[in-house]
Chain A
Amino acid sequence: MIASGFDITVCVLLCLCALAAVTGRDTFRAIVFFIVYGLLISVAWLRIDAIDVALAEAAIGAGLTGVLLLGAFGQMGSADTMAREPRGAVLIALVAGAGIGAAVLFAVQGLPPEGAGLTAEVLAQLEASGVGNPVTAVLLNFRGYDTLLESIVLLVALIGVWSVASETGWGERPGIVHHARAGGTLQSFGRFLPAIGLVIGAYIVWAGSSGPGGAFQGGTVLAAVAILTILAGLVDAPRVTTRWLRWALVMGPGVFLGVALLGLFGGAFLVFPQAVAYPAIVAIEIVLTASIALTLVLLVLGPPREAPQ
């Protein structure tokens, strides 16, 4: 596929946004450029026919990470200024960046142009994997083990985020207290959007088995909706020590691991016999989505706040 002008424009814009985000002294400006960069990357993903990734990148890369960084910038505020930049260190960074960048460029252009990777193998086994969308097939069946570990990584990150709470704040609710004008635009927006968000999130998860979409993209949309309602002050996050919250967090990976271990009786780990593959994968996806959405919300909210003095 020959690169059209559009592709080149997108790439140039991407590099400019990255450069702007990386250089310069004002952090807020950098974060804004980062979010724009995130959206441009989603466009790039569309251009290379990776729709699932475009969804994920837009939702997680630009969306949640942007919110995280903005939130952090909000709370850090003055503490986040850099005194001065010693000349030598900048040079070293420049050399390292340029060097590794050049090496990777050299490697990329040296790759075999006709490398088709595992497309053929995946399509050949697609029928046996029980799902229509090849990406979901790889994600939940062929390389389901990676996805299982990855859902644990999310949990560990959450426990890590919670564990940096202050000593007094353990039983408290996570994140800072948000309050918005009662009946104001934010609150009405907060009431209006979740309905649409839920529908879209559920659809993405459901469509994931046959078309682009899936547990992570859907989960992120649902998480975004939840974050919005909390930002709008309509509902406050549950306390860290509430029991149902913990069981919900653990449910997704737990079910996935349980189903994987069931395979052991048949002599293999994480195996989905073709007959039962589709329902099993969809069930796992639904439970996983719930846990992932909850984990992502709590990750963005941050550690439990300090106990009121």
Chain B
Amino acid sequence: MILDAITMVLTLGGLAFFAAGTLGLLRFPDTHSRLHALTKADNLGLGLIVLGLALQAGTPGNAIKLVLIWALAMIAAGTTAQLIARSALVSNLRKDDGDRTR
């Protein structure tokens, strides 16, 4: 019973972080700040939800699988955030230099 309550709290917390991340995405002016919001908020939000679910998972095996999924999501998010940041940086530099070559 207590476990359900803790799960409830954790998932709600996660949701709050997701909402913050999305809000950041919509409000922030340029790519970099949006990336910042997304990576921080969403990953943390996912972490909390995964923890909440792990409690519900029957066997410890499933719990570990959930954590693994979270780890994989983290790595993927990190890499993509890096790549988007780099390409945004490159295209901004090009834009500033004025030669809009693709």
Complex contact flag A–B (Cβ < 8 Å): yes
Instruction: Indicate if the CB atoms of A186 and B79 lie closer than 8 Å.
Output: yes
Interface of A, secondary structure class, is helix
Instruction: Check B75–A192 contact: CB distance below 8 A.
Output: yes
B64 at the interface (CB under 8 A from A): no
* Contact for B102 among A77, A184, A186, A196, CB less than 8 A: A77
* Closest B residue by C-beta to A180: B83
Which among A185, A192, A196 has the greatest number of chain B C-beta atoms within 10 A?
Answer: A185
Does A247 sit within 8 A of B, measured CB to CB? no
Looking at A184, A189, A192, the one whose CB has the most chain B CB atoms below 10 A away is: A189
CB-contacts of A163-201 with B (<8 A): 184-186, 189, 192-193, 196
Task: Find out whether the CB atom of A185 lies under 8 angstroms from the CB atom of B82.
Answer: yes
> Is B72 positioned at the interface, with any CB of A under 8 Å from its CB?
yes
Q: B83 is contacted by which of A185, A192, A193 (Cβ under 8 Å)?
A: A185
- Range of interface residues on chain B? under 10
Min CB gap A193→B, angstroms: 8
Report the Cα distance A74→B3, complex, angstroms.
49
The B interface, classified by DSSP as helix, strand, loop or mixed, is helix
Closest chain A CB from B69 CB (angstroms) = 11
A156–chain B nearest beta-carbon distance, Å: 34
Chain B residues positioned under 8 Å from A196 (CB to CB): 72
Minimum CB–CB distance for B94 against chain A, Å: 16
Q: Using Cβ atoms and an 8 Å threshold, which residues of chain B touch A185?
A: 78-79, 82-83, 86
As a 0/1 sequence over residues 68 to 81 of chain B, the CB contacts with chain A under 8 angstroms (1 = contact) are 00001001001100
Q: Contact mask B9-39 → A, CB, 8 Å, 1/0?
A: 0000000000000000000000000000000
Residue in A77, A184, A186, A189 whose CB lies within 8 Å of B75: A189
Please name all residues of chain B whose beta carbon is closer than 8 Å to the beta carbon of A184 when the two chains form the complex: 86
- How far is it, in angstroms, between the C-alpha of A60 and the C-alpha of B19 when the chains are bound? 30
A199 → chain B closest CB, angstroms: 11
In the bound complex, CA of A77 to CA of B72 (Å): 32
| B45-79 at interface with A (beta carbon < 8 Å) | 72, 75, 78-79
CB nearest to B71 among chain A residues: A196
How far apart are the CA atoms of A77 and B78 in the complex, in Å? Answer: 27
Residues of A within 8 A of B82 (CB): 185
Taking CB atoms, residues of chain B closer than 8 Å to A77 are: 102
Chain A residue contacts of B86, Cβ below 8 A: 184-185
- B72:A186 contact, CB within 8 angstroms: no
B78 — which chain A residues lie within 8 A by C-beta? 185
Measured in the bound complex, the distance between the Cα atoms of B53 and A303 in whole Å is 45
What residue in chain B is nearest A232 (Cβ atoms)? B79
Q: List 14 A-B contacts (CB under 8 A).
A: A77-B102, A184-B86, A185-B78, A185-B79, A185-B82, A185-B83, A185-B86, A186-B79, A186-B83, A189-B75, A189-B79, A192-B75, A193-B75, A196-B72
